[in-house]
Structure 1
Amino acid sequence: MRSFTLRTLAAAAAFITQATVGSCSDVCDTIESTTNIDVLRPLSLGYQTEQAAYWSTGASLMQPSCILTPTTANEVSVIVKALLNSTERFAIKSGGHNPNNNFSSIQGGPLISTSHLNEVTLDTASQTVRIGPGNRWDDVSAALDGTGYTAVGGRIGNVGVGGLLLGGGLSFLSTQYGWAANNVVAFELVLANASIVTVSQQSHPDLFIALKGGGNNFGIVTAFTVRAHPQGQVWGGNLFFAATDTTNTALLAAARDFTQYYPDPKAAIIVTAEMTAVGTVDSWIMFLFYDGPTPPPGVFDNFTGAAGVTPLTNTCKTQSYNDFVTANNWAVVKGNVYTIGTETMPLPKVGSRSAAAAGLEVLESIHSHWRNVSESVLLVPGVISSIAYQPFPRRFARLARSMGGDLYDFDDDVDRIILEFDYSFTLPSDFSTIDQAVQDTYGGFRDRVVAYTRQGVLPSAYLPLFQNDGYFRQDYFGRLRADRGQLAARVRDSVDPNGLWTDRTGGFKI
């Protein structure tokens, strides 16, 4: 039998809200006194452990009134019913890797932690995996290790499942299988009316699209059923370079070439640069991946020495997929406040006049701007500034559409690079300084892309923002195609007519 329609769900949500009686209650007290759901209070060990799981100390320093730890979708439904009888703001946390305060953290209201929704169940008959949002991706890869299968997920093992999938999710497997979200075949979702539904292309097609890049605007996902892909040994690791003018130019050119003339869909890279306080470290760190025990000759030559630069250190080797993503956890720097931002840029179309030189000119301008802003805050205690150049070749966009689409709806007109940058620092009191630096960084990136487009150096292109890397001030939904933004708003109004998720949780809102 076909599941409820969105109209039916909306009517049910309105009825439940109208039927709620009595004065507003404290959700923590209600759950603690009427259910068996674990309620973690401040000063308890469990509370402190949950708060320490955030990557950013900015989020860890926020103090929820309690932490609710449901173990089933039914328990999440009970919590939502309690929220409907309250006016408290709240938050939902998967892994806690997003550094934006109030996205998965809260000051003074209840926090719903999904840490006990940690199922990983492989079904070889259907070649799917059911994954709870409380997992991190190294939990998933560890559970699947040795089965011959994997799921498309985070490039760093410590990234949480829920946030990555609801934001789209870049993966080292994306040029083979699209966004991580493109691989979801069903969402188990608790709606704003506290009902539990299974959302698929067949049952709720618009909601299914909206969840793939729509963040936390439509409900609480309690399980994802995703495609399982055959997986054997992989090759990969890190290359470390000292930053010099020669190295900067060579690696930016290599990143451009790798994106524009994508050598092999099984190959993937992240090209990153980093500066630290008072310039004590100025380096490049490369993440290389090949989905096979050994990459074919030539695939990574531009990074391993053929471009005229030689890495100081090379950790690349043949290993299991689980060992690879777990090893990347070294890149997670906890114990600091940190911020994140993004921008999307096109590359000149292949075949256009001097496309290679033009593409390099733009990337060097972007890189120079990042360095200039970074240098302006290097005296902030403990500051670490980094930038990542993430290839988004047109093949990726074609795959995403062929696998059912998503809220981004990238076209394959141009090759793109997704820029991601971070500022990590020690003292919360320095946030206003770093906040301005973040705005200056992505604003300068955008200004340069617009200027080069007007000059005809870059093609006019659709350039949405990658939600997983977005800063809280950036207009994620405003950068989507108009029809995609309208779809998201229509679905939100249907499943959450009274604004439970819109008005009482943080995150990017429609």
Structure 2
Amino acid sequence: MSKGLDGNSPPMPSPTRIFAALALASVFPSALALDVCTQIQQAVSSASGVYSLGARSANFAADLAHWVESSTQSSACSVEPGTPADVSIVIQLLGKTKTPFAVKGGGHSGNPGFSSTTGVQISMTRFSTVNYDKTTGTVAIGSGLIWDEVYAALEPHGVIVAGGRVSGVGMAGFTLGGGYNWLANQVGLTVDTVTAYDLVRPNGSIVSVTAASDPDLFFALKGGGNNFGIVTQFTLKAFPQGQVWGGVIFYAAAQLPAVTAAVARFASNVTDKKAAIIPGYTTQLGKPVVANIMFYDGPSPPAGIFDEFLAIEHTTEDISTRSFLSLVQSAPANVTAGTRGSFHAVSLLNYTPKILAAIQNETIFWNARLASAGVTATYNVEPFFPNIYTHNTSPTAFPFTRTPPTIPLNLQFTWTSPSSDSIAHAAMRESADYLTQVAVQTGQAVAQAPLYPNYALFGTPLERLYGSNLPRLRAIKARVDPHNIMGLAGGWRF
């Protein structure tokens, strides 16, 4: 069952990913969900499409496919709404029938069920426009895009928005969760740069949410996830952007101590807000390695900022003056088909030598311990500057406090066998708890610090994500969604 496609849809996944998604979809769906799929097909306009396993299955598989296979589920059908009015029709039918559903932007969530479902999968792929308004200095972005597409569209205009740092990340979930970005030292989190949300509320009403039109809902959408409806378009501030410098440089095991020392010096000494790094501690062929992404917001960095990293003996490098898009795509986030995986979060005040040594040791320990389960553990270090939260004085759902300014550590574990799911998840929780304890023991008051919702592993207490904001968020949720329609979807539920 299908209706017409619009020509702006992103490219289909690889044949291997399509086959994997179709295999997952072979489970027979419930009669209720199938009936709702038929109702949706009959109700929406020709601008939208409804797909199932037997009809236009390539579209169906693309709509279900996620960054990791463990986040993909078997759905009764997929829906690609093409207009806000059709989104309204879909959400009202789902609410009326109490049918489980999911909303997928780019599909980069590492948490199972957060943007996938056994009910009706909504794919926002047709919301794919990027409109730069030079007069207002803003960009209106469709919620079905990945950041690569956004940056490519903006490049001819010489502007950029504060978005994802690696290739393949969806803009919608990223923005609704907070948004650490390459420009954060200069402009703040992505939520700090959003000026409007085009939202279809759970009751089907279509609204533009701004600080003036609905201050509470505007606050809640800035990091509060998908609790308040379906966003079809985000409007973000635009910033001038020319060429940047950077890329990825790889170091072998013998250089780990030198690299770790260089990371510590960068985190404590570099004051240039245009400079940033993401060293990823991981393993290759059983040996610990570091893949360090370096970024400078300009065609070349001043002497001294990255010299130490460049001087350390390395195996390969892809460092150059390049476009912003080229820099982002030098470090692809996509993984091979069949890969399972998750993220988890630790919050820190700073990356001290003791913390970095502990991270290095955790990399070696867990990759050795989990090798028999086929698990690869990666620890991505993100040393933002203390001023990162000072660019916005208005409250946002995330972070629930901006003092003291915490910075994230991203744990990224990948594996291939479903039998390793619980092993990997348990290890991630144990490692995150241990590193938090190390930080506390060294004087960092982070035991209850905000954890980044886009990194936090499922099951993380809401208090660690939204803290003192929870009562206000729950009150807004009750007003906007009194029948808990969004509770039929996955995610961080208020």
The structure 2 residue matched to 1:28, chosen from 33, 37, 41, is 37
- Label 1:395 to 1:261 Cα distance change in 2 as closer, same or farther (>3 A): farther
Matched, 1:283 2:289: yes
Matched residue SS, 1:487: helix
**1:466-488: per-residue Cα shift (whole Å, max 9, x none)?**
11111112124444341x22221
Query: What corresponds to 2:5 in structure 1?
Result: none
Query: What corresponds to 1:507 in structure 2?
Result: 491
What's the % identity of the aligned pairs? 32
2:82 and 2:105 map into 1 onto residues whose CA distance is 13
Contact 1:55 1:335 in 2 (8 A): no
- Label 1:293 to 1:476 Cα distance change in 2 as closer, same or farther (>3 A): farther
Query: What corresponds to 1:56 in structure 2?
Result: 68
Matched, 1:337 2:346: no
1:175 and 1:87 map into 2 onto residues whose CA distance is 43
The structure 2 residue matched to 1:408, chosen from 387, 399, 402, is 399
Normalization by structure 2: what TM-score? 0.88
Query: Cα distance, 1:182 vs. partner?
Result: 1.1
Matched, 1:390 2:403: no
Matched residue SS, 2:440: helix
2:473 and 2:100 map into 1 onto residues whose CA distance is 22
Query: Cα distance, 1:140 vs. partner?
Result: 0.4
Matched, 1:103 2:111: no
Contact 1:184 1:227 in 2 (8 A): yes
Contact 2:248 2:330 in 1 (8 A): no
Relative to structure 2, which stretch is displaced further, 285-294 or 339-348?
A: 339-348
Query: Cα distance, 1:157 vs. partner?
Result: 2.7
2:174 and 2:446 map into 1 onto residues whose CA distance is 29
Query: Cα distance, 1:252 vs. partner?
Result: 2.9
The structure 1 residue matched to 2:329, chosen from 310, 323, 326, is 326
Query: Cα distance, 1:134 vs. partner?
Result: 0.2
Task: Give the counterpart letter for 2:104 in structure 1.
Answer: K
Query: What corresponds to 2:438 in structure 1?
Result: 448
Contact 1:185 1:227 in 2 (8 A): yes
Relative to structure 2, which stretch is displaced further, 122-131 or 251-260?
A: 251-260
1:440 and 1:77 map into 2 onto residues whose CA distance is 42
The structure 1 residue matched to 2:449, chosen from 463, 480, 490, is 463
Query: What corresponds to 1:131 in structure 2?
Result: 141
Query: What corresponds to 1:310 in structure 2?
Result: 313
Query: Cα distance, 1:332 vs. partner?
Result: 4.1
2:173 and 2:333 map into 1 onto residues whose CA distance is 20
Contact 2:160 2:241 in 1 (8 A): yes
- Label 1:294 to 1:410 Cα distance change in 2 as closer, same or farther (>3 A): farther
1:78 and 1:317 map into 2 onto residues whose CA distance is 49
1:436 and 1:461 map into 2 onto residues whose CA distance is 19
**1:409-429: per-residue Cα shift (whole Å, max 9, x none)?**
443535x44111111111112
Query: What corresponds to 1:355 in structure 2?
Result: none
Query: What corresponds to 2:412 in structure 1?
Result: 422
Query: What corresponds to 1:176 in structure 2?
Result: 186
Normalization by structure 1: what TM-score? 0.85
1:152 and 1:206 map into 2 onto residues whose CA distance is 23
1:477 and 1:73 map into 2 onto residues whose CA distance is 33
**1:190-216: per-residue Cα shift (whole Å, max 9, x none)?**
111110111111111121111111111
Instruction: Show the 5 A alignment for 1:161-240.
Output: 161-240=171-250
Query: What corresponds to 1:19 in structure 2?
Result: none
**1:22-53: per-residue Cα shift (whole Å, max 9, x none)?**
x999321111123333111014121122233x
1:24 and 1:173 map into 2 onto residues whose CA distance is 43
Contact 2:349 2:407 in 1 (8 A): yes
The structure 1 residue matched to 2:59, chosen from 35, 39, 46, is 46
Task: Give the counterpart letter for 1:467 in structure 2.
Answer: P
2:440 and 2:170 map into 1 onto residues whose CA distance is 34
Count of paired positions: 459
2:297 and 2:394 map into 1 onto residues whose CA distance is 20
- Label 1:318 to 1:486 Cα distance change in 2 as closer, same or farther (>3 A): same
1:396 and 1:481 map into 2 onto residues whose CA distance is 19
Contact 2:280 2:379 in 1 (8 A): yes
The structure 2 residue matched to 1:120, chosen from 110, 130, 133, is 130
**CA root-mean-square deviation:** 2.1
Contact 2:250 2:289 in 1 (8 A): yes
- Label 1:254 to 1:411 Cα distance change in 2 as closer, same or farther (>3 A): farther
Query: Cα distance, 1:404 vs. partner?
Result: 6.3
Query: Cα distance, 1:258 vs. partner?
Result: 2.5
**1:381-423: per-residue Cα shift (whole Å, max 9, x none)?**
3x32211011132110112x34765531443535x44111111
Task: Give the counterpart letter for 2:377 in structure 1.
Answer: S
Contact 1:373 1:440 in 2 (8 A): no
Task: Give the counterpart letter for 1:491 in structure 2.
Answer: I
The structure 2 residue matched to 1:77, chosen from 88, 102, 114, is 88
Contact 1:39 1:68 in 2 (8 A): yes
Task: Give the counterpart letter for 2:380 in structure 1.
Answer: A
Task: Give the counterpart letter for 1:339 in structure 2.
Answer: S
Query: What corresponds to 1:346 in structure 2?
Result: 349
Matched residue SS, 2:373: coil
Task: Give the counterpart letter for 2:53 in structure 1.
Answer: P
Contact 1:234 1:293 in 2 (8 A): yes
Relative to structure 2, which stretch is displaced further, 489-498 or 111-120?
A: 489-498
- Structure 2 portions without partners, runs of 5+: 1-31
- Label 1:249 to 1:346 Cα distance change in 2 as closer, same or farther (>3 A): farther
2:206 and 2:334 map into 1 onto residues whose CA distance is 37
- Structure 1 portions without partners, runs of 5+: 1-22, 349-358
2:74 and 2:197 map into 1 onto residues whose CA distance is 30
- Label 1:446 to 1:42 Cα distance change in 2 as closer, same or farther (>3 A): same
Query: Cα distance, 1:446 vs. partner?
Result: 2.5
